Amino acid sequence: MGDSVLTAAVLLFDMDGTLVDSTASVERAWGRFAGRHGLEASAILAVAHGRPTIEVVAEFAPHGVDVVAETDRIEAEEIDRTDGISEIPGSAALLGGLDRDRWAVVTSATRALTLRRLAAVGIPLPKILVAADDVTRGKPHPQPYMLAAKALGFDAAEAVVFEDAPAGLASARAAGAATVVVGDYKGEASEGLPRVPDMLSVSVSASGSGMTVTLA
């Protein structure tokens, strides 16, 4: 199969599973949450990836649990514990070679946790970051990707998005962006989309006023 080639004015990247492998850290955090409340961690993990923490806590927390306080506790634990996270191969090099005015990170994590994880694995910090703190409707709603493109001065239809999770893929597609699946997710949300295993398979070159994105 030949390379896939896309054109874009801006590039928008999810964080967890796209730029940073935080699977072990996330699973431990939800495991602790489940243990505190007598819940099944597997049920939580089946739907948590790519969604804002507070939404998942609200869905699963037993009646009477302070959702905001519990969310704050989970976030604090994850900020304090960066052991076990790593760079998705090629992420730092790819972002380090891009014009900072032409890319953004769009994540369901909080701003503090995002900056902590990116710094911990040596990935350049974005000029534009749309985090859970910045939206009124998180992924799978298109708002996060629409806001990020607008902050860069473009429409989401002019963006290429890199995502790994169903909620994020749905968000990007609903925003009208060309969407690339990162990793091995093969569910309904990924149908018909180009795919890369990691950022080593992505190259970007200038093309007129935009960029050419080649997926190996």
Q: Give the span between the Cα atoms of 113 and 175, in whole angstroms.
A: 25
Beta bridge partners of 11: 103, 160
Quick check: is 83 catalytic? Answer: no
The SS3 call for residue 15 is coil
Quick check: is 16 catalytic? Answer: yes
Residue given tokens 């002019």 in the structure block: 158
Instruction: Evaluate whether 194 touches 211 at the Cβ level (below 8 Å).
Output: no
- Among the listed residues 205, 152, 202, the one whose alpha carbon sits nearest the alpha carbon of residue 10: 152
Question: Longest Cα pair distance anywhere in the chain, in angstroms?
Answer: 57
Which of 3, 14, 83, 198 is labelled catalytic?
14
> How is residue 26 written in tokens?
């996330």
> DSSP class of residue 23?
H
Written as one string, the DSSP assignment of 50-113 is: TS-HHHHHHHHSPTT--HHHHHHHHHHHHHH--TT-EEPTTHHHHHHTS-GGGEEEE-SS-HHH
Q: Give the span between the Cα atoms of 105 and 129, in whole angstroms.
A: 5
Beta bridge partners of 160: 11, 178
Annotated catalytic residues are: 14, 16
